[in-house]
Amino acid sequence: MPGTKELKRTLSATLREGLLSHAVLIEGEKGTGRKNLAIWLAKAILCKSENRPCGSCSVCRKIENNNHPDVEIFGGGGGARSFHIDEVREIKESIWLAPNESEQKVYILLDVENMTPEAQNALLKSLEEPPAHARFILTCENRRSLLDTIISRSTVYTLEPPTREECSAALRENFPELSEKDAEIFSIAYGGNFGAASKGFSEGTGEIVFLAAKTPELLKKGESYVLAAELSAKCKTRADFSEFLERLLNITGRCGIDRAAGKTTPVRVTPTEAVKTSEIIERGKLAVLQNCSLELIESWLSMELSRVFGGNL
């Protein structure tokens, strides 16, 4: 996962010096690798090898397979307010019991912004005065959605999203079938979010992404009918079409901005075209919500967009 390397170095050094706080809060956007980093840190805390975490000893493997008796993972399963006080009560009951196999116990609490305020309040005491053998690793998207008292009892580490170049490089490493240009397009289409981009690619959004990337060119050639036909072939559901709109929005937006800054872009879009496109996409999104026929929206979109790009040969 790109973007986590730097933080892993920092955490390793802090741990080696014995300075790692008993409560660590990892903050980062979705797709930046918060959960992976939390699990990596749990391994680093409990692994006995010289280069911690080694990733291959029985401790590391058990943590990787989520069957280490001293590592417990809570949360991460749902939306807002899905993380209940019952789970915190469970933690409070088990935290004073001695570890089973290791010298320490690690509690990983994912997406703590989904904790109800009661659950956050119930957690405070354990965060403040845990037994010496207990450690907490919390993850969240944005610390501002948490109680101040939770933040003040933790050391916050922020995962920066990878740059677009890092995202493209990581995509090519994971999916060698992607050409350099296609990896760049994918990275732009998902706003440089490696997690989302690789999930999209694995789930087969490639055709939709590449159709979005070639949309400006098709329209400049006056081929709006080709676009309409490809849309109806590749976006058979509202979800597919919404995906197309999101990727087109990212691609035209980013390329328009980069173009304005004098950079070369994989898709040729002027800043004005990007603005007009985003207005049309917003209307398209509304139309999708309003239950209009998908076929009609798709041909409407091709027409509207051809006015933006038409004649710009």
Residue 304 near residue 273 (C-beta atoms within 8 A)? no
Could you tell me the strand order of the sheet in which 71-75 lies?
Answer: 71-75, 105-110, 134-140, 23-27, 155-158
What is the amino acid identity at position 91? Answer: I
Integer Cα distance of 253 and 278 in angstroms: 7
Select the span of 17-25, 60-68, 189-197, 289-297 touching Zn ion (CB under 5 A): 60-68
Q: Rounding to the nearest 10 degrees, give the CA dihedral for residues 26, 28, 30, 31.
A: -90
Determine the 3-state secondary structure of 139 from DSSP. strand
Site residues for Zn ion, 177-196, by CB under 5 A, read none
- Cβ of residue 7: shortest distance to Zn ion, in angstroms? 19
Which residues are registered as beta bridge partners of 106? 71, 135
CB of 18 to Zn ion, least distance (A): 18
| Given 37, 39, 47, 209, the residue binding Zn ion (CB under 5 A) | 47
Q: Which is nearer to Zn ion, 54 or 124 (CB)?
A: 54
Report the alpha-carbon distance of residue 28 to residue 33 in Å, rounded. 8
Considering the complex, state which of residue 49 and residue 312 has its C-beta at the smaller distance from Zn ion.
49
Residue 60 or 134: the one with the smaller Cβ distance to Zn ion is 60
Query: With left for phi above 0 and alpha for psi between -120 and 50, is residue 139 left, alpha or beta?
Result: beta
Q: Which is nearer to Zn ion, 57 or 147 (CB)?
A: 57
Nearest approach, Cβ of residue 134 and Zn ion (Å): 20
- Is residue 51 packed enough to be buried (19+ CB in 10 Å), middle (13-18) or exposed (0-12)? exposed
The residues near 61 (Cβ < 8 Å, ≥ 6 apart) are none
Task: State in angstroms the smallest separation of the CB of 64 from Zn ion.
Answer: 10
Identity of the residue, 3 or 53, whose beta carbon is nearer to Zn ion in the bound complex: 53
User: What mask, x for binding Zn ion by CB under 5 A, covers residues 7 to 46?
Assistant: ----------------------------------------
Supply φ then ψ for residue 191, to 5 degrees.
60, 30
Distance CA 174, CA 170 (A): 6
Please, which of residues 264-293 interact with Zn ion by CB under 5 A?
Answer: none
Residues binding Zn ion: number (CB under 5 A): 6
Minimum CB distance to Zn ion smaller for 57 or for 156:
57
**Total Cβ atoms within 10 A of residue 292:** 13
Considering only residues 118 through 137, tell me which ones interact with Zn ion, judged by CB under 5 A: none
Select 63 or 218, whichever has its Cβ closest to Zn ion: 63
Least separation in angstroms between residue 103's CB and Zn ion is: 14
Measured torsion, CA atoms of residues 192, 214, 244, 277, in degrees rounded to the nearest 10: 90
Q: Is 57 in the site for Zn ion (CB under 5 A)?
A: yes
SS3 of residue 237 by DSSP = coil
Q: Which is nearer to Zn ion, 51 or 290 (CB)?
A: 51
Tell me how far, at minimum, the Cβ of 237 lies from Zn ion, in Å. 44
Write out the residues near Zn ion by the rule CB under 5 A: 47, 49, 53-54, 57, 60
